Amino acid sequence: MPTTTLRSATIDDVPLILELIQALAEYERLPEEAVATAAGLRDTLFGAQPAAEVLIAEVDGESAGFALFFHTYSTFLGRRGIWLEDLFVRPTFRGHGVGRLLLSRLAAIAIARDCGRLEWSVLDWNVDAIGFYQKLGAVAMDEWTTNRVTGAALVALASPEGG
């Protein structure tokens, strides 16, 4: 019976994290959007002010997946939360409890840190993930629309005139 373990990523895991991010981007049909670099990950995940944390899942010592997360804040709850930015399990390890184990650990971290919620988004077409999350008790927040400003629009918005 295979043994699955979870551990916090270290700076030595940067190449693995980058590989998993690229695999996730391929799965999500967005490879051109995955422009992260090893240097950038080193700085943002393990530098003076880490922006996020990473859990690595291993099955019998082989990397099986990861979860990248960071803290948010709910003004309504007056408490921190955890935002799961990415959860990815390599195809050969899907259906063996790796994703469930990663989410379970994140829930335990949220409770230990007195967080009021654990949240994430999922692509509309990813019906397998949606079904998986529903089985875990997740509730879709269909009444909310995610907004994003990037690139030239972000630069324009940052100007005193606001674009």
- Show which residues are catalytic: 133
Listing DSSP states for 72-119 in one string gives EEETTTTEEEEEEEEEEE-GGGTTTTHHHHHHHHHHHHHHHTT-S-EE
Q: What is residue 3's three-state secondary structure?
A: coil
Q: Strand 53-59: give its sheet, edge to edge.
A: 4-8, 53-59, 62-74, 79-89, 118-120
Q: Does residue 1 contact residue 47 with C-beta atoms inside 8 Å?
A: no
Residue at 135: amino acid letter: K
